[in-house]
Amino acid sequence: MRALLSVLLPLALVAFPLTAPAQQGRLNGSLAATPLPPPSPAPPIPSALLSAKAVFLSNAGADSGLFPEPFSGNPDRGYAEFYAALKDWGQFTLVDDPASADLVFELQLQAPNGPTNANKQNGASDPLPMFKLVIFDRKTHYILWALTESIEPAILQKTHDRNFDMALATLTADLKRLISQPTPATP
């Protein structure tokens, strides 16, 4: 056994320094030879999103099985909190009749179906509940934009509720970022 080690160890020490720099050179060479693509221009934001003044918030509800567990409250909780966040933001006048609105925001809390006890080593995972905000042009009824935000899993009720609130706050921040983008100059 010692004789075998005395032969293999020097060979390993000699071979390793020769292969590691060669592999490193290949990595560096391939990375250095591939230039990064230039950043693509930002896609246009529909003008109706940027010019809207009045919004109707539609409550598309929550899928079953989410209240009172894992989330406390009732299925209108997300709608009520998002309505309050929009009101605090003050960017839009919130109207109680869709006919008076420039845009319709449809908020839904979804619990997608998916694998349970799936083999996660093969890439399957359990889908997370998520908020979906769909923004419609009230006049044309076309979807202008959609935003989603997943709610992270938790074990404790308190953490479920905190993650619910964080997902809704992130969705609100995403909407603010979208609406606050500068309009591109027209040539």
CB 142 within 8 A of CB 173: no
Q: What is the pLDDT of residue 19?
A: 47
Predicted confidence pLDDT, tens digits, the chain (187 residues): 555 445 555 555 555 554 444 454 445 555 556 788 888 888 899 999 999 999 999 999 988 878 888 888 899 999 999 999 999 999 999 999 999 999 999 999 998 776 555 555 555 556 789 999 999 999 999 999 999 999 998 889 899 999 999 999 999 999 999 998 765 544 4
- Candidates 101, 89, 184; CA nearest to 139 is 101
Instruction: Give dist(CA 105, CA 59) in Å, integer.
Output: 9
Burial bucket for residue 132 (CB in 10 Å: 0-12, 13-18, 19+): middle
Q: What is the pLDDT of residue 149?
A: 96
Q: What is the DSSP letter of 160?
A: H
Q: Which residue has the tokens 């006890």?
A: 117
Instruction: Give dist(CA 185, CA 187) in Å, integer.
Output: 6
| pTM (global) more than 0.85 | no
Helix then strand then coil, % of the chain, to nearest 5: 40, 20, 40
Q: What is the pLDDT of residue 187?
A: 45
Q: The dihedral of CA 155, 160, 166, 170: what is its sign?
A: positive
Instruction: Give dist(CA 160, CA 72) in Å, integer.
Output: 8
Tell me which amino acid residue 182 is. P
Tell me which amino acid residue 98 is. P
Q: What is the pLDDT of residue 111?
A: 87
Q: Which residue has the tokens 């060979």?
A: 11
